Amino acid sequence: MTIHVAIILPFLMAFIISIINKKFTKIHIGWLALTVPIIVFIILARLIPIIASGNPYTHTYQWIPSLDINFTTYLDGLSMIFGLLISGIGSLVVLYSIFYLSSKESLQHFYCYLLLFMGAMLGVVFSDNLMVLYAFWELTSVSSFLLISFWHHRKASRAGAQKSMLITVTGGVSMLVGFIMLHMMTDSYSVHEIIHQIEHISEHELFIPAMILILLGAFTKSAQFPFHIWLPDAMEAPTPVSAYLHSATMVKAGIYLVARLSPIFGGEMLWFWIVTTVGLITLFWGSFNAVKQTDLKALLAFSTVSQLGLIMSLVGMGSVAYALDFEADTVIYTQATFAALFHLINHSTFKGALFMMVGIVDHEVGTRDIRRLGGLMSIMPLTFTVAVIGSLSMAGMPPFNGFLSKELFFAAVLHIKDLNLFSISSVGILFPVIAWIASVFTFIYCMIIIFKAFLGRPLIQKVERPVHEAPFPLLVAPFILCIMVISLFFFPNTLGKYILKPAMVSIYPNLAPAQKLTPEIHAWHGINTEILMTIAVILIGTILYRLLGKWMGIYRFYPPNWSLNALYVNVISGSESLSNKVTNSYMTGLLRHYAFYIYSFFIFSVGVFFFYSGAFSFSTENNASIEWYEWILIGVMLLAAISILFVKSRITAVILNGVLGFGVTFFFVLFRAPDLALTQLVVESVTTVLFLLCFYYLPEWSTEKLSISTKISNSIISITVGALVVVISLAVLNFDKFERISKYFEDAYNLAGGANIVNTILGDFRGFDTMLEVVVLFIAGLGVYTLIKFKAKKGGTDFED
């Protein structure tokens, strides 16, 4: 129940803020918003001991029980990490934004969106029900969309928001399909119930499709290659948003999902390969591209992409442990997951600090372009401290927490190299190589942050205002994060015991008793391959950084129109122009064409269906004989109908049409339908008169100039439709599966007191139809009246358009 409160609280506060913002002008409204993450953090922190002792905390609130969709919260170690990150970093970001955003901005919107996001994110990590998880997942996409486009007067903000929305929602929808497939396999939406059924579903035919679709959702959200392109564009958001959403929380939702579902899919070889490979590619590609960025925020965006790839690949490597038999020496592979969780926390701390640092630089100097920055160290020493701590931790240097997780990462890739499973041995050596190269690039861009922005030449151009150190309150949040960066280096095992261990237990439920599940983290573990790799990273990285100008040219090797962004733009604009073309090709505005489509569809659907269902059956044995006067009538009508096609004047056509009508009247007489004959006679006269009246005012009848192919296709269509209708009518005549109901009406005199059956049907048995037909007639009359009386005056507005 407490967890429900923690999820609902941000939504409640978002509502309150949007209501009372007008009355709350004296103080910055962010202070009100700040209470929410702090309260949530305290709530969660109080539950740490319970979770650490291995008792997950679960509660169900019935929402749609009939559909098996209930708001079930499940707090275990894994959710706890994310919950603490969301509320903890959330508090710091709100604190930072209070001093970052001026009160001229529309603050109530900002905090409303931010709290919406926070609540949605808490919902994602605490939900046990897949459908509820999906709902919150999409809510994070929506609130992130709103936050990215916070400065919606700027075109780039709108474009970035649109891009991130398109990509993450596309992934989200595919994830929904995957969830539904899981439900089809297991008949349950609860993650934990599905985990218990894992033996029964791994052979199911939907297992692999569900896995791939869910991974698609996780990869798009977590900005994995090739879906990472939305993240750099999302840097148009205010910096607190970038710090919160695009480094610490939302982009980790995909990692949360992969880690959460690892017990389900982890034993599958495909899962290991996809997650690890995509993670490694993202790791390399992000770090490689970060080096060439000139905007500090874009650099940090690519570095986030790269670090997320690192975490993702670690989660993938950790899934190997599911496939192996659980023995003492296979537990070693779970250390990859341990490293992933550890780095997840580390990354949130130092990346949050770095984003806040960039925000301060932007705030104080007015630019974040590293070509225009430089020599800020002496002016902004405190900001510089933050930058150094954050960057070195990101590069994996001691004495910061990044060092520890980087060492664990190297250890994990080295272990996986030796794994003799999944035919890994052939390509195993690639894992440490790619990891090492990516680390070199990481080192280089971290150096760029420190040296290009803060050291070196002073500012090239004069800025309008004198640059000075940021105000103290702005620095509080990044400093708290820096303190965490350092203290996590010195006391990693406290974190390991209380936070990481329960999370490991929830990722590896079957391995819970194993002692080695949470290794002791040592800052120094002797001279081994990992430390040698780190030393090599520093050496090669330093050399490459010094020679940066020499090899920057490799970024110009691939033409800009080959990039993934260009592909995205081409796909979007291409699909727009394609759909435009397709629509224009058949929506011609010519009624003749539409009639063509309608009749063709009729021919194909009805004709083909009847043909294949064997409905066309004829017999002539029940037919009545045709009298000579019927032949004459048919001949006259045929003559009139065919002549209509060839007559030159409209009046002739109308009169021939009348001939047809009166011919029908005769048929009614011949077939003993006096009421119909009477009505047909009068109605035919009236319509003929009306036709003549109307056509009197029409211009001369000019024959349409049609091309010969149109004429041919028109005649084919009309002949086919005619033939089809005739064939259907003949087949209907032969249909005798049901008894006729006309016997009932023959008793009309007793039932309705009338001898005229037709009239009793019209007035009594089926009076409802007649009543509505009367209404139809009335509406038609009113329509004619209004069309004529209220038509636009000459020269007035034409209402037709």
Q: Toward other proteins, which CB reaches closer, 562 or 749? A: 749
Q: Measured at the alpha carbon of residue 559, what is the angle toward residues 553 and 565, in degrees to the nearest 5?
A: 115
The SS3 call for residue 427 is coil
Among 245-253, 271-279, 304-312, 778-786, the segment contacting other proteins (CB under 8 A):
778-786
Q: Toward other proteins, which CB reaches closer, 54 or 781? A: 781
Binders of other proteins in range 715-774 (CB under 8 A)? 752-756, 758-760, 762-764, 767-768, 770-771, 774
Q: Toward other proteins, which CB reaches closer, 544 or 762? A: 762
Q: Toward other proteins, which CB reaches closer, 523 or 784? A: 784
Cα torsion 153, 157, 158, 162 to 10°: value is -170
Q: Toward other proteins, which CB reaches closer, 713 or 756? A: 756
Q: Toward other proteins, which CB reaches closer, 18 or 756? A: 756
> Is 781 an interacting residue with respect to other proteins (CB under 8 A)?
yes
* Cα distance between residue 84 and residue 167, in whole Å: 27
Minimal distance in Å, beta carbon 749 to other proteins? 9
Q: Toward other proteins, which CB reaches closer, 607 or 754? A: 754
Minimal distance in Å, beta carbon 215 to other proteins? 59
Minimal distance in Å, beta carbon 644 to other proteins? 23
- Spell out, one character per residue from 53 to 92, where the chain touches other proteins: x when CB under 8 A holds, - when not: ----------------------------------------
- Length of the chain measured in residues: 801
Minimal distance in Å, beta carbon 653 to other proteins? 19
CB 246 within 8 A of CB 234: yes
Q: Which residue in the set 675, 716, 718, 723 belongs to the binding site for other proteins (CB under 8 A)?
A: 675
CB 309 within 8 A of CB 283: yes
Contacts 24+ apart (CB under 8 A), 675-684: 675/756, 675/758, 675/759, 676/758, 684/658
Tokens at residue 149, please? 């486009």
Q: Toward other proteins, which CB reaches closer, 1 or 771? A: 771
Q: What is the 3-state secondary structure (H, E, C) of 149-160?
A: CCCCCCHHHHHH
CB 402 within 8 A of CB 392: yes
Q: Toward other proteins, which CB reaches closer, 138 or 764? A: 764
Q: Toward other proteins, which CB reaches closer, 64 or 772? A: 772
* Cα distance between residue 304 and residue 358, in whole Å: 14
Minimal distance in Å, beta carbon 666 to other proteins? 16
> Is 418 an interacting residue with respect to other proteins (CB under 8 A)?
no
Among 268-276, 452-460, 569-577, 675-683, the segment contacting other proteins (CB under 8 A):
675-683
Report CA-CA distances (Å) from 129 to 60, 64, 185. 10, 11, 15
- Spell out, one character per residue from 280 to 299, where the chain touches other proteins: x when CB under 8 A holds, - when not: --------------------
Q: Using the 8-state DSSP alphabet, how is residue 190 labeled?
A: B
Q: Which residue in the set 788, 792, 794, 795 belongs to the binding site for other proteins (CB under 8 A)?
A: 788
The radius of gyration computed from the CA coordinates of the chain, to the nearest angstrom, equals 38
Residue type (1 letter), 145: F
Q: Which residue in the set 155, 743, 789, 793 belongs to the binding site for other proteins (CB under 8 A)?
A: 789
CB 638 within 8 A of CB 660: no
Q: Which residue in the set 18, 21, 679, 710 belongs to the binding site for other proteins (CB under 8 A)?
A: 679
CB 495 within 8 A of CB 488: yes
Q: Toward other proteins, which CB reaches closer, 39 or 692? A: 692
CB 511 within 8 A of CB 422: no
CB 516 within 8 A of CB 505: no
> Is 792 an interacting residue with respect to other proteins (CB under 8 A)?
no
Number of C-beta neighbours around residue 161 at 10 A: 23
Among 81-89, 357-365, 731-739, 781-789, the segment contacting other proteins (CB under 8 A):
781-789
Tokens at residue 379, please? 């002016």
Minimal distance in Å, beta carbon 766 to other proteins? 9
Q: Toward other proteins, which CB reaches closer, 520 or 675? A: 675
Tokens at residue 45, please? 């922190």
The dihedral built from the CA positions of residue 274, 73, 135 and 236, taken in this order, carries a sign that is negative
Residues with Cβ within 8 Å of 642's Cβ and at least 6 positions away in sequence, in order, are: none
* Cα distance between residue 283 and residue 701, in whole Å: 74
* Cα distance between residue 187 and residue 373, in whole Å: 58
Tokens at residue 271, please? 């899962």
Q: Is 740 left (phi over 0), alpha (psi -120 to 50) or beta?
A: beta
Q: Which residue in the set 491, 604, 631, 785 belongs to the binding site for other proteins (CB under 8 A)?
A: 785
* Cα distance between residue 739 and residue 761, in whole Å: 19
Number of C-beta neighbours around residue 154 at 10 A: 12
Among 171-179, 449-457, 624-632, 777-785, the segment contacting other proteins (CB under 8 A):
777-785
* Cα distance between residue 351 and residue 300, in whole Å: 8
Q: Toward other proteins, which CB reaches closer, 697 or 735? A: 697
Minimal distance in Å, beta carbon 658 to other proteins? 16
Minimal distance in Å, beta carbon 700 to other proteins? 17
> Is 639 an interacting residue with respect to other proteins (CB under 8 A)?
no
* Cα distance between residue 469 and residue 428, in whole Å: 49
Residue 9's nearest CA partner among 34, 46, 29, 45 is: 34
Q: Which residue in the set 678, 712, 719, 726 belongs to the binding site for other proteins (CB under 8 A)?
A: 678
Minimal distance in Å, beta carbon 701 to other proteins? 18
Minimal distance in Å, beta carbon 14 to other proteins? 51
* Cα distance between residue 302 and residue 448, in whole Å: 13
* Cα distance between residue 345 and residue 252, in whole Å: 10
Q: Which residue in the set 490, 597, 629, 778 belongs to the binding site for other proteins (CB under 8 A)?
A: 778
Minimal distance in Å, beta carbon 622 to other proteins? 28
Minimal distance in Å, beta carbon 775 to other proteins? 6
Among 260-268, 437-445, 636-644, 783-791, the segment contacting other proteins (CB under 8 A):
783-791
Q: Is 103 left (phi over 0), alpha (psi -120 to 50) or beta?
A: alpha
Among 221-229, 300-308, 601-609, 678-686, the segment contacting other proteins (CB under 8 A):
678-686
Minimal distance in Å, beta carbon 586 to other proteins? 36
Minimal distance in Å, beta carbon 143 to other proteins? 52
DSSP labels, 516-577: GGSPPP-S---S-HHHHHHHHHHHHHHHHHHTHHHHGGGGGSS-GGGSHHHHHHHHHHHHHH
- Spell out, one character per residue from 680 to 719, where the chain touches other proteins: x when CB under 8 A holds, - when not: --xx-xx--xx--xx-xx----------------------
Report CA-CA distances (Å) from 333 to 257, 325, 401, 552, 650. 20, 12, 21, 38, 89
Q: Using the 8-state DSSP alphabet, how is residue 519 labeled?
A: P
Q: How many of the chain's residues bind other proteins (CB under 8 A)?
A: 40
> Is 777 an interacting residue with respect to other proteins (CB under 8 A)?
yes
Q: Toward other proteins, which CB reaches closer, 626 or 693? A: 693
* Cα distance between residue 360 and residue 367, in whole Å: 10
Minimal distance in Å, beta carbon 771 to other proteins? 5
Q: Toward other proteins, which CB reaches closer, 399 or 754? A: 754
Q: Give residues in contact with other proteins (CB under 8 A).
A: 674-675, 678-679, 682-683, 685-686, 689-690, 693-694, 696-697, 752-756, 758-760, 762-764, 767-768, 770-771, 774-775, 777-778, 780-782, 784-785, 788-789
